[in-house]
Amino acid sequence: AQSVTQLDSQVPVFEEAPVELRCNYSSSVSVYLFWYVQYPNQGLQLLLKYLSGSTLVKGINGFEAEFNKSQTSFHLRKPSVHISDTAEYFCAVSVNNAGGTSYGKLTFGQGTILTVHP
Amino acid sequence: DAGVIQSPRHEVTEMGQEVTLRCKPISGHDYLFWYRQTMMRGLELLIYFNNNVPIDDSGMPEDRFSAKMPNASFSTLKIQPSEPRDSAVYFCASRYSGDNEQFFGPGTRLTVL
């Protein structure tokens, strides 16, 4: 079975500062990796995903993430955050079976609350 | 597309009552997922369907919980009888088998008194 660990439960930063939200996963098979964002009282929205190919993935709202297979990590970064980035961020993993088709079942980390201060 | 639709958005009920949560997936999506979100346990997958058939219900907490998908455009999650510890936000999500992204609904906030 796979698992996801988000190393920081809360990350406070000032506006226009860079931020990194950390995510590590464990799995005995290859996986797909995702970052979702949840704004207050809303559902989850996909930020970006890694399926294959380039290990640096760019997503919406200026976010990017880098897949590091040797360190089993998928950290999320943004060079300059805005107040509007305040939200909870979830890292998730989905098993990629031998045929290359995801089973589709997501396992989520516990979430990281990003708070951007003026 | 209207996205994944869930109803009701908020539900307040008393312990022992039956609760039914509803979900309409995005048209054309053949996977449907039910999640529960709490402060203590985070996001948990309860059950998921493929082509209206339940594939994995190992996350369903106990027999008080049941889920159905009578057709491709509708699913229900039922709790009978409800208990205060069931209070949570319940999300429905859907996915097309040719893609990897799950689309989430806005959630139903359930409070059991």
Task: Considering only the beta carbons, identify the residue of B43, B93, B106 that sits closest to A90.
Answer: B43
The predicted structure's pLDDT at residue B62: 86
Q: What residues of chain B score a pLDDT lower than 50?
A: none
Closest chain B residue to A104, measured at CA: B100
**Closest approach of A85 to chain B, Cα-based (Å):** 19
Q: Does A63 touch chain B (CB under 8 A)?
A: no
Q: Does B31 touch chain A (CB under 8 A)?
A: yes
Residue A45 CA to its chain's centroid (Å): 11
Q: Which H/E stretch holds residue A32?
A: strand A31-38
Q: Are B108 and B10 in contact (CB under 8 A)?
A: yes
The predicted structure's pLDDT at residue B68: 97
Task: Considering only the beta carbons, identify the residue of B42, B101, B107 that sits closest to A108.
Answer: B42
CA angle at residue B56 from B51 to B62, to 5 degrees? 125
Q: Does B59 touch chain A (CB under 8 A)?
A: no
- Residue A84 DSSP label: G
pLDDT along chain A (118 residues), means of 10: 91 97 89 92 92 91 94 96 96 71 76 96
The predicted structure's pLDDT at residue A66: 95
Q: Which H/E stretch holds residue A118?
A: none
A53: CB partners within 8 A, 6+ apart: none
Task: Considering only the beta carbons, identify the residue of B4, B45, B106 that sits closest to A42.
Answer: B106
The predicted structure's pLDDT at residue A73: 95
Q: Does B25 touch chain A (CB under 8 A)?
A: no
Q: Does A43 touch chain B (CB under 8 A)?
A: yes
The predicted structure's pLDDT at residue A100: 43
**Closest approach of B92 to chain A, Cα-based (Å):** 9
Q: Does A70 touch chain B (CB under 8 A)?
A: no
Inter-chain contact A102–B31, Cβ cutoff 8 Å? no
The predicted structure's pLDDT at residue A103: 61
Sign of CA dihedral B61, B87, A91, A5: negative
Residue A62, SS3 per DSSP: helix
Q: How many helices and strands in chain A, by DSSP H and E? A: 0, 12
Q: What's the Rg (C-alpha) of chain A?
A: 14
Q: Which H/E stretch holds residue A24?
A: strand A23-26
Task: Considering only the beta carbons, identify the residue of A32, A43, A94 that sits closest to B91.
Answer: A43
